[in-house]
Chains A and B, each alone.
Chain A
Amino acid sequence: MSGQLSLQGMDLPRRNGELAFDEPWQATAFALAAAVVDHAYGGDREPFRQQLIKTIAADPGRPYWESWTAALEALTETLPEPPPAS
């Protein structure tokens, strides 16, 4: 995917976008969720999304990335046990 996303030849400044992450821990939390989706759920994003919806609904005023982290913690507790190391 990343090969196709090359932006060479398109000199578009990122004035359109905010920085994706305000602090490094947010980027880490984001990437960890991607890791769980990819490597524990075979690319199925729905379990994390449902957990995120529940977590936000439980405390709507909480800052977004903290809800994200809480959702990831909750989902991590329910992950299937990994197969024994060979």
Chain B
Amino acid sequence: MSEEGHRRTAMSPVEQRVAALEALLTERGLVPEGFIEEITRRYESEIGPMNGAKVVARAWVDPRYKEWLLAEGTAAIAELGFGGPEGDHMVAVENTPAVHNVIVCTLCSCYPWPVLGLPPAWYKDPPYRARMVREPRALLAEMGCRLPGDTEIRVWDSSAEVRYLVLPERPPGTEGMTEAALAGLVTRDSMIGVARL
């Protein structure tokens, strides 16, 4: 094989397609210098479930904030500095002993980016997107979240209009903990609703 052939095969077909898109869009002036690096850095290091965890912890320690969060999610979340793409209309849904909430996007992969970052791989896969609507209790159990039979499960289908965030129940025995320590307890999966704390 020629040297050029070697070089070509070093890139997978999809990598070649992305490289072609990058060249084309850059040529059309749509990709400013450093834009790709900046976006990537931001989503890898600044935007993620640790943001949602701060929102949840604040709601746990501050009843007025919690009330605001449940009434006006986008504004209450913006108060903590989180907003931007895919976070225009955020709605927080509260877990209680009687009600368990879980989020899904049946059409694609809508997800509350500002508070949870980018969705995990399974969230984007067809089985999760289909089964969470059809048989949420069974799927939750398979994912390790077993709910009492009398717990109502509410499945929220995300869309361009609304992105949901689950407000998990505060675990027992955490009464003396600081807000920052509480935030450390909150997992991504609990804010999607596929786990309890």
Contact surface of A with B, Cβ cutoff 8 Å = 1-2, 4-7, 9-10, 12, 14-22, 25, 27-32, 34-37, 39-40, 45-46, 49, 52-53, 56-57, 60-61, 64-66, 69, 72-73, 76, 79, 82
Contact = CB atoms under 8 A, between A and B. Distances in A.
21 contacts: A2-B42, A12-B50, A14-B48, A16-B50, A17-B117, A20-B48, A20-B117, A25-B12, A25-B14, A27-B40, A28-B36, A29-B18, A29-B21, A30-B43, A30-B118, A32-B25, A35-B25, A35-B31, A35-B35, A53-B108, A57-B107
Interface stretch (B94-102, B135-143, B148-156, B180-188): B180-188
Residue from A16, A22, A56 having most chain B Cβ neighbours under 10 A: A16
Contact of A31 (B39, B125, B126): B39
A22 B193 CA distance: 24
Contacts, number: 139
B74 interface: no
B50 A14 contact: yes
Interface in B61-115: 81-86, 107-110
Contacts of A30: 39-40, 43, 118
B180 A32 contact: no
A37 B39 CA distance: 13
A4 B124 CA distance: 28
A31 B66 CA distance: 34
B110 to A, nearest CB: 8
Contacts of B86: 45
B121 interface: yes
B8 interface: no
B18 A16 contact: no
A37 B17 CA distance: 19
Given A27-B39, A53-B107, 18 more contacts: A5-B82, A14-B48, A18-B120, A20-B117, A22-B121, A25-B19, A28-B19, A30-B40, A32-B31, A35-B30, A35-B31, A35-B35, A36-B30, A39-B30, A39-B31, A49-B108, A53-B108, A57-B107
